[in-house]
Structures are given as structure tokens and as C-alpha cells.
Structure 1
Amino acid sequence: MNNTSPHVDKTALQGKVALVAGATRGAGRALAVELGRAGATVYVTGRTTRTQVSEMGRATETIEETAELVDAAAGTEGAGIAVPTDHLDVGQVRALVARIDRDHGRLDVLVNDVWGGNHLLDFDTRMWDIDLERGLRMIDLGTRTHIITSSVALPLLVRRPGGLVIEVTDGTARSNQDFRENFYYDLTKNLPIRMAYALGEELKTVGGTAVAVTPGFIRSEEMLDHFGLTEDTWREGIDKQQHWALSESPLYLARGVAALATDPDRARWNGTSLDSGQLAREYGITDADGSRPDIWGYMLAERAGETPNLADHR
């Protein structure tokens, strides 16, 4: 991960505390690092540690490593705090929030990024042909975790005005008008968008903000492995899948969210859903390679019957 960023003021979130639920890898890890780079103390949670592995079976990424990356970005030991947490276990989430309250007495930013359901996806399969427990597990991982975490953490977050909730999902209210190819996945990725809207209505009464955000075609560790690529060789995938040309590193969304978190006028986004391309344009963000991919804009143009140029969306 790029250890420098021209986009972040390292003192912007000084004294603030963030919780990134689901920070083991991908967007969650990058979000934790960029919030730390902006000066926040960041609690990073997940189920994979150096001594245990979640059902995803990816032992190569751990929350301890994420915490160390936060420290490196912040230039401060202890800026990243790893706490093993299963966000479906209410007791574990309560213990986590109690620890944050005991040690810091505040929570300023809550990022709900828990997912871990890619291995449950059955595309081109009708709802009634999918094993019910498999489908419900996906909904639990991607939505029930968010609800539990918000319910437990929000009393601490609203103790001070200005709290921010970020719901990380796949797609926006506009882009998700089309069916997401799997009944359970469609529900799982649309609920966080509605959660941001509903929480926004409630948080604005106490000076808070809730926003849903989505990456585009993200080159997470899992995605790169799936295609047999690395961050150094990802362009080799363009020949097989043209949308790879508009792919983005996890840093891209993370830079946009860090900019949003430090924006004194962020309440204007309350209740909305934003993609990484929109955040990039609004805040002058680029990816690590200086590009500004906009795959959602490209796909929306295709939906409208246009023939967009890939180069115009990068």
C-alpha cells in the first residue's frame, strides 16, 4: 500500500477515534490506514488474526497487520488497535465498544465494512435453487453485522455532535436499480444504502451524518488472487476482461472517504450513497497511480444505451 498521500492532512482527525468494522483486507484495511494517516486513532476489527482464520480461509491478511499499517501511516505506534471481533456476536461487539469507551470515551467515525460473503455467491442461480442457509449466511454477514454494530456503537458516537457513519457496500441507489444477479446478494448490498438513509434521518437530529459508499471494480487481495494477478501485474487482465482497465486499488475509495471524514461540510451528503469516482471528483482524489477510474459512470452510460469510451472514464 502506498505510504504517502498528497490528499490527507495528517492532523485533520487528530484526537478523533474511528472504528473500522471489517478491516482485515481490501477496502476496510485501506480505509483504516487512511483514517489513521489523517490523525485518527483507529480500532480495526475482523475475524482473522495471526492465531485464527475466518471461514474465508485467507490467513495471509490479519487485523494485526492492518493495525501495523495504520501505525506506519500515522507515524505513531498505537494509532491502530486490533481487536478480534465477530460482529454477529452481540457480546463481542458490546465488549469492543465498552473498551473504546473506557480507553477513549468517544467514537467519532464508525465504518461498517463487514462482508466476507464472496465465497457464498451463486451468480446465474435463481433464488429457489440456492441453499437457504447459504443465502441467509450472506445476509447475516453483510447486513446483520452492520445493524448489530450500529445499534451497539451509536450511543457512544452520538455522545458528541459531528459523528460520522460510513456504510460500505457495492453500488449506489442509482446504480443498483438493476438486479444484482443473485437474490441474496441484491438484498445484502442494497440494505446498507437504505441504512445510510435511515440513520442519516436520525443522526441529523444530533448533528451527525451517515453516508453509504462503494468502490468500483476493486483490486482487493481476494480479487487479484481470483484472477491470478498481483497489484504489479493487474493490467494483464485487461485482455480477458475489458473492465479491468477501469479497476481501482483499495486506496482510491479510502482516500475519498478520508477526505469526506475531514470535510467540515460533509453533512451535505447525509443519507446519500456515493461511489469512489464521485468522491474522487468532489475531493480531487486520484488512485495510487494518478488515475481517476469511474466504472460506475461507465456502466450507467452503457445502461442508457450509449457506447462510452473506456479512456473517458479513467
Structure 2
Amino acid sequence: MSKPLSGKVCIVTGATRGIGKGIALQLGEAGATVYITGRTLTSPKDDPVGGSLTETAKEIETRGGKCIPVQCDHSKDSDVEELFSRVAKEQDGRLDVLVNNAYSAVKALSDNFNKPFWEQPITMWDTVNNVGLRNHYICSVHAARLMTAWKSGLIVNILSAAGLKYTFNVPYGIGKEANDRMAADCAVELRKMNVAFISLWPGLVRTEQVLHLLTTKGDETISTSEETMKLDPSMFENAETTEYSGKAIVALATDSNIMKKSGRVFFTADLGYEYGFKDINGKEPVNPRQLNNALQFFPKTKWMANYMPNFVYIPKWLMAAAGNKF
């Protein structure tokens, strides 16, 4: 079996479960040595979702990959510095791929659904953006120091379309848009060093957390703008698995023309079409740019989805205009 990333060194932050775990699994399966991070090596007994660094590492090794789990609290700069120092020491200064995926605000977002920002704890900003934004920058700084020395590398921020339009709450959307801007601006300075920086937007993903919410809060209403949506199981029938993003990153990391993509935003589904890969279940997940898919998110337009063919896509320029401030 071909190992396109054989000899490569990767870091995936926040890889105990969800998209981070899926990415780590695919990178390991592709032959890379994968360092994965999380706050604990084992899952707390009271965690209903489960997942741990140890479990992720074992699954990567079962697939024939090499994984090095590192306990790291990404809210602590010292832990992050120790992580990159360890990688540099153990891999002779080499780092080929960094995936910024660590996030620590899922519970806080869930606990504060539909509350305006002035009624939420003042700590919400740090809860959402310390690990989810500031840490991404710090990790990128450390990664860039290693990659620029080799004049090669790829940094990926795992984000979403929430940077375009109000979603969940104020700090959440600000953090997502700032991360996209981080990729764009860092790419300008990294280009001459042959290091790429990309924003990756997965679509709907059947993470462990989502599956748990669907079974426990299936009738809960979530605010996304002036409208609301429910956690509807049918919306996730053709959603991505957690490993689809990993397939996208493997494709990016093996693209000899990756610098042409640096500084830009890419949907996982668009990359699937471009590079010709499908999800691990053999399916092509729904693309967020498919108009009929987008219409299903809101009660006032959901009925229109049934009359819209699959081949009608929202142009990227129109999506960008949704976030226009002028």
C-alpha cells in the first residue's frame, strides 16, 4: 500500500476525538510520524463522549502508522513551547505539517446557546479564543521557525464558515474570521520561504460530540442569526466523517503545487472533487456550497431545498460578499 507521507513529521493539536482524531488517523495511515496533543492521556470517566490520546495513538498504530501522544494544555504557552522543542529535538528540527485544531469551548457554547453577549460570562471571550485563536497563532509561530529553516511545510487552521456570518455567539464568529485572516496574512510572509498556510472548512461532520447531542438534545434550538435551526438528525445523514478532513490534508500535503493555494480558504468537499478522493465510507459528503443544502438550515427557506437541483452551487464570490463590511 502506498504511503505518500512516509518520512514526514506532523503535529495535530486537539486529537483526542472528533476532526482532530480523524486527521491524525489519516496522516498516520499515509505514513507520517504524527504527534498528537490533548490535555489528558486518558478519557475522564464522567465524559459521556469519550476519546483520549491513548486511544487515538493505538488506532493509528493499528493501521500501521507511528504516533507520539503528547499531553499538552494549549492554554499554557509553556506547554506549547515544550511540544515544539520536543519535536525539534526528536526529529532533527524537521516539521512538515501542523494542523491547528485544538479547541476548548464546546461546552461553554452549548451552555450559552441563545444568550446575547452581554448576558454571557465575561470570560466567554477567553474561553472561546484563548485556545481557539491565540494558541493557533503561537503554534504557527513555533512551526514556522522549524519549517522556514527547511524552506518547506504546510500549516492548516481547521475552521468553518462561521467567519462569514453570525453563528452561535459573538466571540465564536470573531475567532473564526480572525483565524482565516491569520492564514491569509501569515501566507504573505511565509511565501518566500516556501511554506504554505491554509484555512480548511469542513462541512457538517458526524463527530462524537454531534452524535451525542443528536441523541440527547435533538429538539434543542440553536441560534445562527435572526433565525434558528434544530439539531435535525436528517441533516447529518450525508455529513462528513471525522476522517474526511484528514483525507483533504493528505492531498494538500502531497500537492507539488501547494503554494498556489497558500493563504486561501478551502471547503473539504471542494478539495474532494479536485483531488478525486471520497470519504472513508465511499460517499461524497454534501457540499456546503450546494444551494439546496444551504437552504435546509433555516425554517423559512427549507421548503425550497426540495426544488433545487444538486448541481446548483453558491459562487465563492457571493459567499465572500456575505462577510463584506462595506
TM-score by length of 2: 0.81
Per-residue displacement from partner, 1:19-73 (whole Å, max 9, x unpaired)? 11111111101111111111110000011312x749x946721111111222222
**Among 248, 262, 284, which residue is 2:254 paired with?**
262
Asked if residue 271 in structure 1 is aligned to residue 263 in structure 2, the reply is: yes
CA contact (8 A) 1:138 1:188 kept: yes
What is the aligned length?
Answer: 288
List aligned pairs for 1:160-309, cutoff 5 A.
160-171=150-161, 176-228=163-215, 240-298=232-290, 302=295, 307-309=304-306
Asked if residue 69 in structure 1 is aligned to residue 59 in structure 2, the reply is: yes
CA contact (8 A) 2:214 2:232 kept: no
CA contact (8 A) 2:105 2:128 kept: yes
Q: Distance in 2 between matches of 1:58 and 1:95?
A: 30
**Among 74, 93, 102, which residue is 1:114 paired with?**
102
Asked if residue 101 in structure 1 is aligned to residue 93 in structure 2, the reply is: no
Shift of 1:191: 1.8
Q: Distance in 2 between matches of 1:296 and 1:57?
A: 31
Asked if residue 90 in structure 1 is aligned to residue 82 in structure 2, the reply is: no
CA contact (8 A) 1:257 1:279 kept: no
Partner of 1:4: none
1:290–1:91 CA distance, 2 compared to 1 (3 A): same
CA contact (8 A) 1:26 1:221 kept: yes
Shift of 1:294: 2.6
1:301–1:120 CA distance, 2 compared to 1 (3 A): closer
Identity of aligned residues (%): 29
SS of 1:132 mapped into structure 2: coil
Per-residue displacement from partner, 1:156-190 (whole Å, max 9, x unpaired)? 1222122100100122xxx7422124101111222
Per-residue displacement from partner, 1:207-256 (whole Å, max 9, x unpaired)? 11010102111111111111129xxxxxxxx9944422331111112111
CA contact (8 A) 2:124 2:171 kept: no
Paired residue type of 1:70: I
Paired residue type of 1:284: G
Structure 1 unpaired stretches of 5+: 1-8, 230-237
Q: Distance in 2 between matches of 1:177 and 1:97?
A: 32
Partner of 2:128: 138
Q: Distance in 1 between matches of 2:132 and 2:44?
A: 18
Per-residue displacement from partner, 1:121-140 (whole Å, max 9, x unpaired)? 13322221211113321111
Partner of 1:23: 15
CA contact (8 A) 1:112 1:168 kept: yes
TM-score by length of 1: 0.84
1:241–1:68 CA distance, 2 compared to 1 (3 A): closer
Paired residue type of 1:87: H
Q: Distance in 1 between matches of 2:2 and 2:119?
A: 50
Q: Distance in 2 between matches of 1:161 and 1:41?
A: 19
Partner of 2:144: 154
Q: CA RMSD in A?
A: 2.6
Partner of 1:312: 310
**Among 20, 29, 36, which residue is 1:37 paired with?**
29
Q: Distance in 1 between matches of 2:254 and 2:210?
A: 29
CA contact (8 A) 1:166 1:210 kept: yes
SS of 1:192 mapped into structure 2: helix
Q: Which moved more, 1:97-106 or 1:293-302?
A: 293-302
Per-residue displacement from partner, 1:59-93 (whole Å, max 9, x unpaired)? 721111111222222x15xx100000011211111
Paired residue type of 1:42: V
SS of 1:14 mapped into structure 2: coil
